[in-house]
Amino acid sequence: MQRLKILSLVLDHKIFFQSPSNLILRNIPVSPCLDGREINLIYGPLHSGKTSFLKYVASLVHGGKVYINFGHSRFEELEPECFQEIEEIATEVYTKTNENEKEPYEAPDAEGAVYYFLDEIHNVPGWESWVDRLNRKGARVFVTSSSANILSQEVTSLFADRNRILKLLPFSFKEYLTLKGLRVPKPNFLTPSRCDEMLCLFLHYFDNGGYPGVIKDRNPTLSRKYFEETLQTGVIARHNIQDAEGLKRLAVFLISNMASEYSLDTLKKVSGIDNEDTIRNYLDYLEEAFLLYRTPMFNHLSENGKEKDVPCKVYAGDTGFFKTVYPNYPDSLGLRFENLVFLELLRQGKQVSYFRDRRECDFLIIETDSQAVKAAIQVSVYFGSPAVREREVLGLMAAMEEYGLNEGLILTMDDEGVMEISGKDGEKKRIIINSVWKWMLE
C-alpha cells in the first residue's frame, strides 16, 4: 500500500474522529479503561455504538490520539508490513499541533500518552502482533471488533494478563431513555401517570430494538439494513460462503423463531443445506457476527457432557429484527418478550442457560467459576389467567427445587406481586413478580 494513500486515510480518519458529535454515555464503567495500560478489546455487533464509545473515551484523555478505521474499504489490501508505516505516518501527523486544537500532541514519555483507537482491526491479518508491539512500547491501545472471534484463544494467550475485554451491545432500555433525552427514573418511586409513560416508551423500545441509529433516526427499517450488512460483510464475505442464499434462509428462519429450540433436520429442510457440519459452521458464523445467540439446556448439559448433542434455544441479536427481517411472519409476542430478557441478561454479563424436564424454566443464571445455578427466571407477557399462572409457577418451582433455590423471579409486561409457595420439603419458596421494564431500570 502506497505511503501517500496511507497518509490520506490517516488524515481523513483524524478529521472524522475529531468531529463533534452528541455522545451518549453508556451504562459501562469507563474508568478502568483509563487507569491501566492493558489492551482494551471492545467487541459487539456492527452499528452498536463502538466507534462512538471510542470517541467518548478519547474525549476523556490527554495526549496523542490516533484513530484508524480498518473496516474502511480502502484498507482491504493492507498487508502486515504496512503497520510500521502506519505507525510512522501517524506519529508524524499527530506530533504536529493542529492550529484548531488547544492541546498539542504529547510524546509517550511526557505526562500524556499516545492513544491508538483502532476500529474493526480484525479485518487485517497480523494485527495481533502490531497491537502487542504498540502496547509493549507504552501506547494505550483500544481495539474494536464486530466479530466475537477477536476473543480467540490465540489472541487472549498473546495478550495474557494485559487485556481488558468489553462487550458492547445495542442500547438497553436505560440507554434508550438517555438517547431520548429523558431522565432515567427510579422504578419504585413512580406515580401512576409516570408508570404509564414509561410503559409506552418501553413498548416502543421493545418493538424497534436497541440499535442507536434506529432509535435516533426513528427508522425501524434500519435494523433490516444492519442485518443484511452484517450477514454480507461479517459472515458471507469473511468466511467466503458459497451458498449465500441457503445461509440467508437459515438466518431468517432462526430469527423468525427466536427463543425456540431447533433441530438440525428442520434447519436442513428450511435452508436447503444437506450437510450437517455445514449447518453447524453456519450457526457458529452467525453467532460470531452477533446476529444470533445460542444457549444450552443446563440439566441436559450437565448430564450428557457432550456439548455437540445438547439441545439449544436460539435468540436474535436484536428484538427489532423480528418485524423487519421477515415482516410477514406471524408475530409471537411471548417469544419476542423472552428474547428481550435474554439480551438484557447478556448486557448484565450473566451466563445464561435454561431448564426443561416435564416443566420448563426460561432462564437459569449460572455461576461462571463453579457452574452452580444461582438464580431462576421465568418470563410471561401476561400473568393474569389461572392457566398461565399455574404453568409459569410450576415451571419456575421445578427449577428452584432442582437446584435448591429459595427465591425465583417472574418477569411480566405489567404485573407485580409476591407469592409464597411450599416446596416438596415443606419449606416456603418465595416468587417475586415484577414488570420487565421496571426490572430493566433497576
> How do residues 234-265 score in pLDDT, each as one tens digit?
999 999 999 999 999 999 999 999 999 999 99
Task: Tell me the pLDDT tens digit for each residue of 11-45.
Answer: 888 778 877 677 777 888 888 888 888 999 999 99
Cell of 116: 491508538
Is the predicted pLDDT of residue 108 greater than 70, yes or no? no
The CA–CA distances, whole Å, from 59 to 17, 67, 223, 234, 278 equal 10, 13, 29, 29, 45
Q: Among residues 84, 89, 80, 64, which one has the least CA distance to residue 9? A: 89
- For the chain, state the CA radius of gyration: 24
pLDDT value at residue 144: 96
Cell of 161: 494478563
**H-helix segments, 96-145:** 127-136
| Half-sphere exposure (Cβ direction) of 117: Cα atoms closer than 13 Å | 25
Angle at the Cα of 169 from the Cα atoms of 189 and 50, rounded to 5 degrees: 115
pLDDT at 267 over 90: yes
pLDDT score recorded for residue 199: 96
| Neighbour count for residue 439 (Cβ, 10 Å) | 17
Task: State pLDDT tens for residues 80-107.
Answer: 678 888 888 877 776 654 434 444 434 3
pLDDT band at 415, cuts 50/70/90?
Answer: very high
What pLDDT score does 389 carry? 95
Q: Which residue has the cell 413478580?
A: 433
User: According to the model, what pLDDT value does residue 300 have?
Assistant: 67
**How many degrees, rounded to 5, is the angle at CA 230 between CA 66 and CA 257?**
140
pLDDT at 159: 93
State the greatest distance between any 2 C-alpha atoms of the chain, in Å, as a whole number: 78
Instruction: Give the residue ranges of DSSP H helices in 209-307.
Output: 212-217, 222-229, 244-256, 264-271, 276-288, 298-304
CB 316 within 8 A of CB 292: yes
pLDDT at 355: 97
Distance from C-alpha of 72 to C-alpha of 82, rounded to nearest angstrom: 15
What is the pLDDT at residue 15? Answer: 79
- pLDDT recorded at residue 110: 41
CB atoms within 10 A of CB 236: 18
Q: Apex CA 324: angle with CA 319 and CA 329, to 5°?
A: 90
pLDDT score, position 120: 93
pLDDT, mean over the chain: 89
Question: How much is the pLDDT for 124?
Answer: 86
Give the pLDDT mean for 291-298.
Answer: 96
Q: Which pLDDT does position 109 carry in this prediction?
A: 38
Mean pLDDT of 397-410: 97
Give the three-class secondary structure for 76.
coil
Ramachandran angles phi, psi of 123, nearest 5° = -70, -15
Amino acid at 384: G
